[in-house]
Amino acid sequence: MTRVAFIGVGNMGAGMASNQVKAGRHVAAFDLSAAALDKAVAHGCSPSASVAEAVKDADIVITMLPAGKHVREVYEKDILLNAPTTALLIDCSTIDVDSARAVGAMAKAAGFRFGDAPVSGGIMAAEGGTLAFMVGCEEDDYPAYEEALKPMARAVFHAGDLGSGQAAKICNNMLLGVSMLGVCESFALAEKLGLDPTKFFDIASKSSGQCWSLTTYCPWPGPVESAPSNRGYEGGFLTALMLKDLKLAQDAASKAGATTPMGNQAEALYAMFDGLGFGQKDFSAVLQLMRGKLDELVG
């Protein structure tokens, strides 16, 4: 039986670890949150008292952590000192490219294979095993990463060398954040002009305005049954996480000398929305900011 150590079983990690269990793998889980660990155990994971305990016999180590500093610390102080060098190391966190490359360099120096493999898709995709993974690793190692990630994925892509996964994730989510704002603005304007929102959806979804933010993740309640807009904007991709990704994109753009005015504006709008207290709502809830109806998100 393949032995997986899963470090970080929070909102996203819990569903991901659960799908590793469903694939018939033994999953040793660790999280600083007792509640998160209890949830993972309820889905078939074995609890570990520490990172060191979780990784000691692992064939695969997967980390899903909040930020680059956490990833650097857990690899440097725990994983690289305690996991067998035969273990395949995979970081699925969304972090800055520099941190991914730094951790990869440490891992390689210690005799490990390491890849950055951030995900596209929210909590429901994590639970359903339908995430998209963007992997940055050496080309010869990619088949091993693809096989390791398969239980959690609808698609796995080799983005390029180490750090390329994070680069792809940052660019993809900047595009997502910008496109969602355009969709929300359009619905808000359509409403002001007296156009029925459902009819606008029917027209735009089959016209040149068609995009994922409209047809798969529609911010207006009704047209797309599975969208968070039909659940009070709960259980999707948090505004706070979108803001995090947009900040990473702007930091990367600054370092690379790239011009990203739309990404900059998107960051500012989501920062405003987060600052108003809606960081835990799905990012598509920014529609209510555009409509001037934030009261509909309260309670």
The strand pair at 119-120 and 131-136 is best described as: antiparallel
Burial code (b: 16+ CB inside 10 Å, e: under 16) for 71-93 equals bbebbeebbbebbeeebbbbbbb
CA dist., res. 296 & res. 299, Å (int): 8
8 A C-beta contact, residue 150 and residue 156: yes
Alpha carbon of residue 152 to chain centroid: 13
Instruction: Report the sign of the C-alpha dihedral through residues 87, 48, 135, 226, in that order.
Output: positive
Indicate which residue of 169, 199, 206, 281 is catalytic.
Answer: 169
- 108 annotated active-site: no
3-state secondary structure 78-127: HHHHHCCCCCEEEECCCCCHHHHHHHHHHHHHCCCEEEECCEECCHHHHH
Any alpha helices (H) in 26-67, and if so which ranges? 34-42, 51-55
| Eight-state DSSP code of residue 31 | -
| CA 229 from centre of chain | 19
Task: Point out the residues that are catalytic.
Answer: 169
